[in-house]
């Protein structure tokens, strides 16, 4: 097995697997993940070490493209009337997941006579929503309508709340361990958010300026992919949020000039194989052997995260006077979990030598669950809201 052969198998088996699993009405995202699990190292082992090594590159590039594309939904003329819904729903749904997961795990850890600080970090991780799965389900089923547009906007800023909560949770956790409250960690987390916003804004302005030199669609594609790679690379180097900086870049681009919609249009012409590789490699990384390690704490995490998202979105929709369909169905569509939550788990693993690995294991195990079930719940929500146009 060489890397080229492995890459070819990834694309062909991903395509065939998605077509086959259509018969059981699974979204493409779930089908790609299942194919990834089958061809991954735990079953058929068809993915070479070289491709596994390159998976970080693919993941960051695709997350950058997805986040940049989400920025298109923040055209100021369109969001002025809907921003109240977005802010109320996103903050209360994120807070709901953090508070409920943390509270349930605190009670459980007290019962086991364990430290309670891991519960705060796990709750913060639970507030994140994975944008990649959500975007792909919406595109696959050609969903459109008020709920779909609101979902895209909520998902776009959801991870910003998660980053703030994680910074606070880690600061409180360190205070509980060392009895010395370190505000520096809180400020560092907030600094990451502002750094991402500044970087995205600068590159968004640069994108719009350089677009004046573009003569063809091919040149525009080269320009935007290059700028997204530049944004992702700088974000990784500066240790700021790839998602937030890329989304900000997209937001600035679409608002500087109406004709800049071409940036997003040209990306849609080439992103399908990248999404496929991203999700298949994500599936190949999923280890079902880790599920048994999550135990009761992992079950509490799953159950109370779903409750927090569903009822948080319901309360936010009610406060902001959103339509009834939003109140009933948006919360379930916010259940996918992936990269940002895992990132918090990795930070916890490095920060807390005693319980960091325990925190990461629970997040990794629950990510397996939410990556497979989340897209199905998103599809179900959009269908119940009457916004799915086509099953094909």
Query: What tens digit of pLDDT does each residue of 198-223 get?
Result: 999 999 999 888 888 888 888 888 99
Structurally, the chain folds into a number of domains equal to: 1
Q: What is the pTM of this model?
A: 0.71
Establish if 171 belongs to a structural domain.
Answer: yes
pLDDT the model gives residue 231:
93
pLDDT band at 286 (very low <50, low <70, confident <90, very high): low
pLDDT the model gives residue 331:
85
Closest CA to 236 of 60, 67, 53: 60
Residue scoring higher pLDDT (246 or 160): 246
pLDDT the model gives residue 180:
53
pLDDT band at 107 (very low <50, low <70, confident <90, very high): very high
> Alpha-carbon torsion 347, 353, 358, 364, what sign?
positive
pLDDT at 26 over 90: no
pLDDT at 182 over 60: no
What residues make up the domain containing 193?
3-384
pLDDT at 172 over 80: no
**Average pLDDT value for residue range 365-390:** 81
Establish if 23 belongs to a structural domain.
Answer: yes
Establish if 389 belongs to a structural domain.
Answer: no
Establish if 101 belongs to a structural domain.
Answer: yes
Q: What mean pLDDT, rounded, does the chain reach?
A: 81
pLDDT the model gives residue 303:
93
Of the listed ranges 16-30, 94-108, 252-266, the one predicted with least confidence:
16-30
pLDDT at 137 over 70: yes
Find the CATH number of the domain harbouring 205: 1.20.1530.20
Measured CA to CA, the distance from residue 161 to residue 363 in angstroms comes to: 18
pLDDT the model gives residue 184:
61
Residue scoring higher pLDDT (73 or 331): 331
Establish if 262 belongs to a structural domain.
Answer: yes
Establish if 390 belongs to a structural domain.
Answer: no
Establish if 249 belongs to a structural domain.
Answer: yes
**Average pLDDT value for residue range 1-20:** 81
Establish if 392 belongs to a structural domain.
Answer: no
């Amino acid at each position: 097995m060489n890397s080229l052969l492995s890459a070819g198998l990834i694309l062909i088996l991903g395509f065939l697997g998605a077509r086959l699993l259509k018969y059981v009405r699974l979204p493409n995202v779930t089908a790609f993940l299942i194919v990834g699990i089958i061809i991954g190292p735990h079953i058929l082992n068809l993915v070479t070490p070289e491709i596994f090594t390159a998976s970080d590159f693919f993941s960051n590039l695709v997350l950058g493209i997805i986040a940049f594309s989400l920025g298109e939904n923040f055209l100021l003329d369109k969001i002025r009337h809907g921003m109240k819904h977005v802010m109320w729903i996103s903050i209360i749904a994120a807070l709901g997941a953090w508070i409920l997961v943390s509270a349930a795990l605190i009670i459980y850890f007290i019962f086991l006579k364990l430290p309670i600080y891991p519960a705060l970090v796990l709750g913060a991780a639970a507030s994140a929503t994975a944008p990649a799965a959500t975007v792909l389900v919406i595109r696959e089923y050609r969903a459109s309508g008020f709920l779909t547009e609101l979902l895209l906007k909520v998902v776009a800023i959801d991870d910003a709340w998660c980053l703030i909560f994680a910074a606070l949770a880690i600061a409180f956790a360190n205070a509980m361990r060392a009895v010395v409250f370190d505000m520096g960690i809180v400020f560092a987390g907030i600094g990451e958010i502002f750094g991402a916003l500044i970087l995205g804004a600068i590159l968004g302005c640069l994108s719009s300026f350089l677009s004046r030199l573009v003569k063809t669609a091919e040149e525009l594609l080269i320009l935007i992919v290059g700028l997204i790679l530049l944004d992702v690379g700088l974000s990784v180097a500066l240790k700021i949020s790839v998602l937030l900086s890329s989304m900000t870049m997209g937001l600035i681009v679409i608002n500087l000039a109406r004709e800049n919609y071409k940036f997003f249009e040209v990306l849609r012409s080439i992103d399908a194989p990248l999404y496929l590789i991203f999700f298949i490699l994500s599936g190949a990384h999923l280890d079902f052997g880790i599920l048994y390690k999550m135990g009761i704490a992992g079950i509490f995490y799953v159950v109370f995260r779903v409750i927090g998202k569903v009822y948080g979105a319901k309360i936010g929709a009610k406060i902001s006077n959103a339509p009834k369909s939003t109140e009933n169905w948006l919360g379930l569509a916010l259940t996918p979990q992936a990269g940002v939550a895992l990132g918090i788990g990795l930070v916890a693993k490095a920060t807390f030598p005693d319980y960091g690995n325990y925190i990461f294991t629970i997040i990794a195990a629950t990510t397996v669950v939410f990556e497979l079930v989340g897209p199905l719940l998103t599809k179900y929500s959009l269908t119940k809201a009457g916004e799915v146009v086509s099953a094909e």
